[in-house]
Amino acid sequence: MIEFAHVSCAYERAKPVLKDISFTIREGETVGLIGCNGAGKSTVMKLLLGLLPCSDGKITAAGLPVDKAHLAEIRAKIGVVLQDPETQMFMPTVYEDMLFGPMNYGLSREEADRRIDAALEQLQIGRLKHRHNHRISGGEKRMAAIAVILAMKPDILLMDEPTAALDPYNRRKVIEVIKNLPGTKMITSHDLDMIYETCERVILLYDGAVCADGPADQILRDRELLETHRLELPLRYANIR
């Protein structure tokens, strides 16, 4: 579903952000993309959405090359939960935000409403349906932003720090939803315990390069590997020597 083949990217010619990275994410896989600040995680997301051009290499999503000719089709297949829900929620109410995408892609009002109600029920936030976005808390807005994307039923789901700013109850709820969602998912987060619970595989980026790619349980319990790349063990492994 997703393939990066020898991809490099630089915001400035002399400062490469990604350096010849290659990986493949198969259909139905849930993969955690981890790394310290500045490792290149956000750049990977932007490249996949066609928001940045790669200077070298090739990117494929849902069987299509990520280029200008295919961007509209690719973006219709990808749902993105942004790190800051303020940049994602732009309509007056939660319902209007959730309605915008399905209607924009040609669904009937009846089908759009069915998807909206199903997504709200899945996250147990039906009470937010007709609330104004500026009158809900930051945690509620994050949950609503996830519901907006679930209503789209994308083939590929990209999630950037989906549990950030959530209280323990809603964090657990989001983890359970992610675990039960069908489709292909790529999740970036500093919450390595959440990555362990939701992802069967982890890709570790450092200084714009892929430093490790393998089973989540193997990589996330490797203290030396994580600390060498400015990360810490998940709490579940913190006391293991």
**What tens digit of pLDDT does each residue of 26-78 get?**
999 999 999 999 899 999 999 999 999 888 999 999 999 999 999 999 988 99
- Torsion angle, CA of 189/220/201/22, rounded to 10 degrees? 80
Is residue 145 within 8 A of residue 120, CB to CB? The reply is no
Q: Is-contact 125 140, C-beta < 8 A?
A: yes
In a domain, 219, yes or no: yes
Confidence of residue 96 (pLDDT cuts 50, 70, 90): very high
The answer to whether 25 touches 184, Cβ cutoff 8 Å, is: yes
In a domain, 69, yes or no: yes
pLDDT at 241 over 60: no
Residue 199's domain comprises: 2-85+156-237
pLDDT digits (tens, 9 = 90+) for 191-240: 999 999 999 999 999 999 999 999 999 999 999 999 999 999 998 877 66
Determine, yes or no, domain membership for 200: yes
Total structural domains in the chain? Answer: 1
pTM above 0.85, yes or no: yes
Burial 183-196, CB ≥16 within 10 A → b, else e:
bbbbbbbbbbbbbb
107 in a structural domain: no
Q: Which helix (H) or strand (E) holds 64?
A: strand 64-65
Closest CA to 50 of 40, 60, 35: 60
> Does 60 map to a domain?
yes
Helix (H, G, I), strand (E, B) or coil at 230: coil
Residue 131 lies in a domain: no
